[in-house]
Amino acid sequence: MKVPETQYRSFIEQYDGPVKKNERLSAYTTFRTGGEADLFIDVTDADQLSRVVILARRMELPFFIIGGGSNLLVSDAGYRGLIIRNSIRRLEVKDTDLFAGAGESLDETVDFSTTRSLTGLEFAAGIWGTVGGAIYGNAGAFGSQIGAVLKYAELVDPDGNIRIEQNRYFQFSYRHSILKETDETIVYACLQMVSGDREAIRKRTEEIRQLRTHKHPTTPCSAGCFFKNIEDSSQPNGKLAAGKLLDEVGAKDMRVGGAAVFGEHANIIINTGQATSKDIRQLADILKEKVKKKFGIELTEEIRCLGEF
Ligand SMILES: Cc1cc2nc3c(=O)[nH]c(=O)nc-3n(C[C@H](O)[C@H](O)[C@H](O)COP(=O)(O)OP(=O)(O)OC[C@H]3O[C@@H](n4cnc5c(N)ncnc54)[C@H](O)[C@@H]3O)c2cc1C
């Protein structure tokens, strides 16, 4: 929906910091696709985030928070409203509590915890994106997820209020947190770590990074797994891999325009160079349709689509 230019102008006049106009979002997504955001602000602390949210709400300006853009498919038409990039940085240890700003890279947070001989985050080695994005989607791998190590987090609600919530508030489940319903934004996380042997932690994170390089693209061209695995109690770990179903419908041979399925993993769609978000969306829809037809199963997206498709 189009936002009147006057609304943008008065937001810019009333906001006390830099605002970018017509910012290309392909530079901020790991798919490297997506059109322009009408307005774009980088926030670096909780007060600034709260002020931006309060002003946007008061002016009825649609807004959306991004972190590393590694789980997002942004429309080629871009986003009508304000994109707020969470760039809040902080890495600090007190006893065995690790404090990480929501805008910190998750992978760098793993390295930071390794140098401090803290164990608990090794599973996240090599996962793209930020700490805030990881909490939003309860990012995980190798049987662990961030919800298992989060002690509490500071957040900003859609009215701009800043508060702290303990782990249970987030109602973590498979690739889910309450943030998907409340539209609150993480400011920083306190992660509950355990003292360990630095060399053993380093060895494990490197093993995990190595394992990932065989199954995932190593350059920005995807958003990781496109679809969620399917809850299925008859499976050994309670999940039926979407990638397995996709393999069986011949996904790896499929492409639309510049979008193709990754050769090493049928649940990953890649931008081979010139893909548009429309190509990616169309390929995903074809894959969904094929799985529905062959298995009667409706795949649901793990990634988030933003804007009009
Ligand atoms: C090659 C590759 C491999 C991947 N492997 C995995 C994997 O093994 N496991 C896994 O779980 N994921 C994986 N992913 C997906 C992705 O890395 C994670 O989902 C990641 O946690 C997303 O973080 P982000 O900062 O990039 O979020 P974004 O993509 O920027 O945003 C995703 C969602 O999070 C919300 N969000 C972002 N920041 C905040 C915040 N501070 N507060 C509240 N909400 C916020 C956004 O509004 C949006 O709805 C992979 C991605 C790639 C590209």
Distances (CA, A) of 150 to 41, 128, 131, 174, 191: 27, 18, 11, 15, 5
pLDDT of residue 214: 87
> Is the sign of the CA dihedral 262, 263, 265, 266 positive or negative?
positive
Fold of the 91-215 domain: 3.30.465
User: Within 6 Å (CB) of ligand 1, which residues are found?
Assistant: 30, 65-72, 86, 102, 127-130, 132-134, 136-137, 139-141, 179, 185-186, 216-217, 222-224, 304
pLDDT (tens place) for every residue of the chain, 309 residues total: 788 999 999 999 999 999 999 999 999 999 999 999 999 999 999 999 999 999 999 999 999 999 999 999 999 999 999 999 999 999 999 999 999 999 999 999 999 999 999 999 999 999 999 999 999 999 999 999 999 999 999 999 999 999 999 999 999 999 999 999 999 999 999 999 999 999 999 999 999 999 999 899 999 999 999 999 999 999 888 899 999 999 999 999 999 999 999 999 999 999 999 999 999 999 999 999 999 999 999 999 999 999 999
Ligand 1 center to 7 CA (angstroms): 30
pTM above 0.75, yes or no: yes
Q: With respect to CATH, is domain 14-86 assigned 3.30.43.10?
A: yes
Ligand 1 center to 10 CA (angstroms): 32
pLDDT of residue 192: 98
CATH of domain 230-306: 3.90.78.10
Q: Domain limits of the chain?
A: 14-86, 91-215, 230-306
Ligand 1 center to 136 CA (angstroms): 8
75 within 8 A of 1, measured Cβ to Cβ: no
Residue nearest to ligand 1 atom 21, measured at CA? 134
Residue nearest to ligand 1 atom 47, measured at CA? 65
134 within 8 A of 106, measured Cβ to Cβ: yes
Q: Which atom of ligand 1 is nearest to the CA of 155?
A: 42
